[in-house]
Structure 1
């Protein structure tokens, strides 16, 4: 029976040993220490208990301190090995206290522990002296309450390691092999005296140490002069506490006794005492009986040995904490018998912390973040957010959601991307619908007016049949707006394909037929007075229908090749922020298919524009040649703007939408301010015949003078005495509101005075004006009207004067460019519908609104005219090369009515 392993001759002779105190893990190696057994558990069980405690408390980053030597170093080694096997525990610092340490060694150890601030838990396998040294150094470093101590059985539930260091040890969790106080031993031991215990040679030394005195004979103490009387009593004259290893000493003795008894029973049956067979027995035989021994020990627990000669691990767990009586003491908080049983609710921590303190290298990542491990440190990581359309698959990886999915807000899973469509209440739908409704109302009004006055000269002069066809096309252009905004389904998608280009095709087919007819009439008229073929209304309808059938045939082919269907487009609105991602429900129509569907109509539009340019010199606005030309020029601008807008929305929705709105409003404004003067200019010829012939100066002279003045700046806005005559009066006639209003009282006289001057004086005035520093914003439209209209008739229109520098429009454009708007989803649909609405509005406004105006407000001009033959009209039209620049003296423009309403002229 030995306290620790002893490599004495008895071991060399293979005599078995039973230890009651040796816990070194290496003694479990049965190949090296095959004759060694122990009734106490090895430190490897204690290390396993520590690993289980740390995992139960959620600590992953700990440090270790060991006393130099077998106990400390081997204990920490066992703990490190078991923590690696268990996983999830990393060693931040592993320190060793040398033999015979100095204060500096303890202080250095604490400073090293503080280098890893997050590692608050410290595993300590050390002697009592080293435990005290570490706690003292902690106090000197002013780190009381920072470290969370886990002490081995050398600390256990002893008071000596923490004497006067209780505040530093608060919260410490310690381990002690399960033991019990042996009844009767205290009575026996406290009754021992020097007289009745002479057999124990060390008892006299214990007596001096326990009572702090000297015995008279052979005393080894020289630090005290107090003499022992021999009448001292253990427990009453000194502090006594039963040694914790008493249980194991008794169990070790009984284990040997039980082994010898079993061996005697087998070797010497029915023979009292030691028989010869037992005397010659070898150590291996006795070891076999020791390893097979099993009995209840002195504390009532079973005493057994495993194959390595180790006793089972049984530990009590304690924590040094404040009790209800406000005193600090060890409290049992659980036990470890092959597995951990810990009462977490009974734990207390330094500084009154309610929750278990943390001792981790890295804090847990938030939801939606993955761990990026630090190389060589599995307990340390950096947190990285699963960005874009990724979600957190597990702790260390992110995965991409499916194409129709997006991560949920906390990025722990994927969820379907919401599906949206253009709603009727959306601003991107309200504007086109509003314009379309206005256009439909206007179209119906015009059509009703034409039907009501179907047989009047103006309606007949417009070409009734083609006018109704054109109005039908305009009406369909407005109707397509509602189909483009309606919720997509198979039927809606089919109607979109049909009507997308049909309205424009009908409109431009009718206009192309008109312009082609005018061109053919006057080109042939230059060579012969014979009427060209196919100019009758029936022929015109047939030609228009043929052009329309090409569009319908293309749509039928489209239906056959690619039947209409709906799709959900997830790519169009897959934004950087997945929370803003949307799937757009739309018809299965690509941008290229839209352009192809409109391509034929655009071809008709371009062809019509070419004919409009060729017929721009036709006199008297023959068959609306000039309004058709202006309509086509404006339409080309709108559609030229549509193409970059439509294909550029994917790159810069905000800028393109701002540009588009500014352009559309500017076009609409230009159109609105141009209609009134054009109405007077084109359809009230009586206003052009009120002056005598000498007052009609050539238009090109006025425009030339206006352009010269436009490029200069005027210093005297009031027209002072220093201004030349031409400068003073011409600005009065051609200027904007700020210059014309002060002289409106005498305007008539001055205008007539200028216009009655001779050609030479006008040229002289032009030269004077060019040399002056003048100021005004002039517009050629008003300039033309001044020559033919008294100033009092011109004034109502001058306040609508529009130039590219109009302050209202410039402020509008600036505000849109400087104020960012949120990204919109449906710019393409809005662009397409508004472009079609604008095109239809231009045609309706230029070709039919002035006529409706005359029909309703000037019925006296809508009178029957005398008929003239086709030959007479063509002869008059070709008499002079400048005929197109001079107004005809006959009122109401007879020629165009005759050509429109003379079916007999068609040689078809």
Structure 2
């Protein structure tokens, strides 16, 4: 400062008149909140402290005065009683408390105490204190117009979670409160997946005379939080934390001024690094205030900072009260002289200026022109807390005075001379007091003496003239559920201009994108990780997932493995190409079989048709016709009816066809054997033998199917696991054993038929079909032997296609091998369809 400072002990020794009521328990900061230690202290005798008034905090005193002024003017509160106050400093350094408080409050040069011992035990604070103060046993009458401290911790965690800031920095003062803050917050951060990249403790003293110390201090301080990937940094402690941080940022310039241009190269790197954008998150205890020695500091580095603050409003008339404030009109207010001179860098008239180099204050200076870091015209949240504290005491005293109407002591003029309230009585009143202040907000205390209420979340918007405004961008409500306590309006936030993106990211490393999962890095905090691709069949649909997950039933991972897509139904449908081909083939063969049957009906009296049991031939053709048609039951979406009957129909009809072929083969053998004189087979010759064979063989197959239906029938089923992108709509065969029993029985009949036909292929009979049957059974058995492994190795509609193909191929083999030669003669060589052409010379094998 340019102007010399006069002895502050000229202030009046108290700011209340005799006979007025003393409010002895409102704690506030008025004096030595920031000390500059030019050189290292060698001993207590060498101790020197230049007290710099933190001008912004002078509003705390003015808020207290304004509240008392309103109460004294309000006839509904403590009528006929005039309030006054003492001021006590709450700084933690005892020798500063002693020296500065007495200097500010005494009128003489002698250090004579002017306060009552023990008043600190009847406190009502506007700020938060250590947790041990919450103990009702040690501090039974301690109240504070500050919400629950734990609520602010929850708000910090939820704010970080809202913006997904998981790699953050912590800056506190180097004291017990800072340690307690870290001990409380860090476990909460860890439980919510947030890590502290660094923890910086702000030093209260800096040795400006030691350049090596300053260089190392810059390396250790700036290096920690400006080179870190942590873009979100939490500030806790008090306003001195903010002033320390501003000094760190401006320190390179200070060093250049102290040590000349030779230091420019060493500090240029620091200047470049301090231009990096960060998001500063300040707790409600921290105010963006600076001393006038920091007037040249550029506060743009704090643009976009987020801050918790006590819910507050501007009382009506407070701005007008400040506008009327002038040193000459503030009688009895000794603080205003030092405040005014430091704020406007001038000397008030009537005080000697030895150097004669300082301008004189005109008292026309306007507080509205002062930048916000040094004084605000709107009531700050801390001043608002003091304002409410005064009203809380006044309302408690009013209740006490109202209860003493019969016994209160009156002076000769009928006014209340004094009101000596014992602490325990005031304590009992404050416990249950609740009132609406002048702006309509309710003031009440909980069981721990804390203010019932939440916090505002504000955004610091700075201007080129180093002023700023706070914009409310959210709230922290204690009455709602934990997950919904914080409300953020992101569209109202103005971020730091140097941030690479908004909202900014604050991560140890880039997020693991969907499709990847996090993998812990050995030896590092859990917030630092690598990203691994999800294994086959699993996905991660969010960023930074700890592990990949399996899709729910009916869904499958997409190619990027970042989402689950619904599976499509897999079944052999009529519209698809394979369904069309198989259906067309089945209908074509059915039509051919029908035409063959019609041809045989038309030429039923010819030798070719009559040979080897004409009725058995008709049964075979009808069964083949049904075999081709039953394949259509396998096409289309399976349902309960088709699943129940398609395998039963197929195995039964095929059993009839194979049984008919077997009967034809046996008939040939029996006819040949019966042609020998005296052979026992003569009595078996006839149509009844063939019918017995067909009926008995089919009866056994029907028995298998009946037992199958009764024991474990087929049913509609959905297979969601076999195929990656589709779910299979299929028919579950129920009992697989019965299914293969039915197929095995048909295979057994076909094998017997093949063996008998093969042995009888060269019998000298004019009506011998054994050679054709041998080829047909060879095709039939080949098809179904290849069917089994192919069927078991396929899934879904491919499995159904294999079965349909086997049905069509085996049926076509029977139709072609047995009936193609006959149809050739009937239709193309009718001259051969005569008895004399078909009778051949028989050769007997003896």
TM-score under structure 2 length normalisation: 0.62
Q: Is the 8 A contact 1:421 1:487 kept in 2?
A: yes
What are the Cα deviations for residues 422-445 of structure 1, in whole angstroms up to 9, with x where unaligned? Answer: 433344433333333333333333
Q: Determine if the alignment matches structure 1 residue 432 to structure 2 residue 576.
A: no
SS of equivalent to 1:848: helix
Q: Is the 8 A contact 2:540 2:549 kept in 1?
A: yes
2:246 counterpart residue number: 132
Q: Work out which of the two has the higher radius of gyration on C-alpha atoms and give 1 or 2.
A: 1
- Cα distance change, pair 27–520 in 1 and its aligned pair in 2 (3 A): closer
1:476 counterpart residue number: 626
1:582 counterpart residue number: 728
Whole-angstrom distance in 1 between the partners of 2:474 and 2:684:
113
Q: Determine if the alignment matches structure 1 residue 122 to structure 2 residue 89.
A: no
SS of equivalent to 1:454: coil
Equivalent in 202, 213, 223 of residue 97 of structure 1: 202
Shift of 1:168: 1.1
1:167 counterpart residue number: 300
What are the Cα deviations for residues 732-766 of structure 1, in whole angstroms up to 9, with x where unaligned? Answer: xxxxxxxxxxxxxxxxxxxxxxxxxxxxxxxxxxx
Whole-angstrom distance in 1 between the partners of 2:432 and 2:589:
108
Whole-angstrom distance in 1 between the partners of 2:705 and 2:806:
23
2:11 counterpart residue number: none
1:546 counterpart residue number: 693
What are the Cα deviations for residues 635-655 of structure 1, in whole angstroms up to 9, with x where unaligned? Answer: 3222221222233324xxxxx
Q: Is the 8 A contact 2:230 2:507 kept in 1?
A: yes
Q: Determine if the alignment matches structure 1 residue 562 to structure 2 residue 562.
A: no
- Cα distance change, pair 366–621 in 1 and its aligned pair in 2 (3 A): farther
1:862 counterpart residue number: 833
Whole-angstrom distance in 2 between the partners of 1:254 and 1:844:
109
- Cα distance change, pair 453–279 in 1 and its aligned pair in 2 (3 A): closer
Give matches, 1:388-537, under 5 Å.
421-461=571-611, 463-485=613-635, 496=646, 499-520=649-670, 529-530=677-678, 533-534=681-682
Between Structure 1 and Structure 2, which shows a larger proportion of helix residues? 1
- Cα distance change, pair 77–43 in 1 and its aligned pair in 2 (3 A): farther
Shift of 1:850: 2.1
Whole-angstrom distance in 2 between the partners of 1:601 and 1:864:
35
Q: Determine if the alignment matches structure 1 residue 624 to structure 2 residue 769.
A: yes
Whole-angstrom distance in 1 between the partners of 2:582 and 2:790:
16
Equivalent in 70, 87, 90 of residue 5 of structure 1: 90
- Cα distance change, pair 183–30 in 1 and its aligned pair in 2 (3 A): farther
TM-score under structure 1 length normalisation: 0.58
1:147 counterpart residue number: 279
Shift of 1:171: 1.0
1:877 counterpart residue number: 844
Shift of 1:623: 1.0
Shift of 1:130: 0.4
- Cα distance change, pair 877–500 in 1 and its aligned pair in 2 (3 A): same
Q: Determine if the alignment matches structure 1 residue 605 to structure 2 residue 750.
A: yes
Whole-angstrom distance in 2 between the partners of 1:309 and 1:482:
84
- Cα distance change, pair 202–283 in 1 and its aligned pair in 2 (3 A): same
- Cα distance change, pair 107–44 in 1 and its aligned pair in 2 (3 A): farther
Whole-angstrom distance in 2 between the partners of 1:434 and 1:309:
89
Whole-angstrom distance in 2 between the partners of 1:157 and 1:205:
15
Q: Determine if the alignment matches structure 1 residue 66 to structure 2 residue 206.
A: no
- Cα distance change, pair 289–629 in 1 and its aligned pair in 2 (3 A): closer
1:190 counterpart residue number: 327
Question: Any stretches of 5+ residues in structure 2 without a counterpart?
Answer: 1-85, 99-112, 207-213, 252-269, 479-485
2:40 counterpart residue number: none
Q: Is the 8 A contact 1:446 1:852 kept in 2?
A: yes
Q: Is the 8 A contact 1:89 1:379 kept in 2?
A: yes
1:835 counterpart residue number: 806
Whole-angstrom distance in 1 between the partners of 2:90 and 2:811:
109
Q: Determine if the alignment matches structure 1 residue 54 to structure 2 residue 168.
A: no
Shift of 1:157: 5.5
Whole-angstrom distance in 2 between the partners of 1:52 and 1:448:
88
What are the Cα deviations for residues 90-141 of structure 1, in whole angstroms up to 9, with x where unaligned? Answer: 6554321223243543543343335752552432435154021344478541
Whole-angstrom distance in 2 between the partners of 1:456 and 1:257:
129
The answer to which of 304-313 and 559-568 deviates more is 304-313
Q: Is the 8 A contact 1:368 1:386 kept in 2?
A: no
The answer to which of 108-117 and 375-384 deviates more is 375-384
SS of equivalent to 2:831: helix
Shift of 1:311: 7.3
Give matches, 1:745-894, under 5 Å.
825-865=796-836, 876-878=843-845
Shift of 1:269: 1.2
- Cα distance change, pair 849–135 in 1 and its aligned pair in 2 (3 A): same
The answer to which of 418-427 and 475-484 deviates more is 418-427
Q: Is the 8 A contact 1:67 1:98 kept in 2?
A: yes
Superposition RMSD in Å? 6.1
Q: Determine if the alignment matches structure 1 residue 351 to structure 2 residue 497.
A: yes
Q: Is the 8 A contact 1:369 1:385 kept in 2?
A: yes
- Cα distance change, pair 291–272 in 1 and its aligned pair in 2 (3 A): farther
Whole-angstrom distance in 1 between the partners of 2:461 and 2:157:
21
Question: Any stretches of 5+ residues in structure 1 without a counterpart?
Answer: 651-824, 880-908
1:156 counterpart residue number: 288
- Cα distance change, pair 488–553 in 1 and its aligned pair in 2 (3 A): farther
- Cα distance change, pair 321–415 in 1 and its aligned pair in 2 (3 A): closer
1:754 counterpart residue number: none
Whole-angstrom distance in 2 between the partners of 1:296 and 1:509:
102
Q: How many residues align?
A: 682
- Cα distance change, pair 91–66 in 1 and its aligned pair in 2 (3 A): same
- Cα distance change, pair 834–358 in 1 and its aligned pair in 2 (3 A): closer
Q: Is the 8 A contact 2:519 2:532 kept in 1?
A: yes
Q: Is the 8 A contact 2:534 2:561 kept in 1?
A: no
1:732 counterpart residue number: none
SS of equivalent to 1:122: strand
SS of equivalent to 2:204: coil
Q: Is the 8 A contact 2:658 2:750 kept in 1?
A: yes
- Cα distance change, pair 162–85 in 1 and its aligned pair in 2 (3 A): farther
SS of equivalent to 2:681: coil
Shift of 1:248: 8.5
- Cα distance change, pair 864–11 in 1 and its aligned pair in 2 (3 A): same
1:634 counterpart residue number: 779
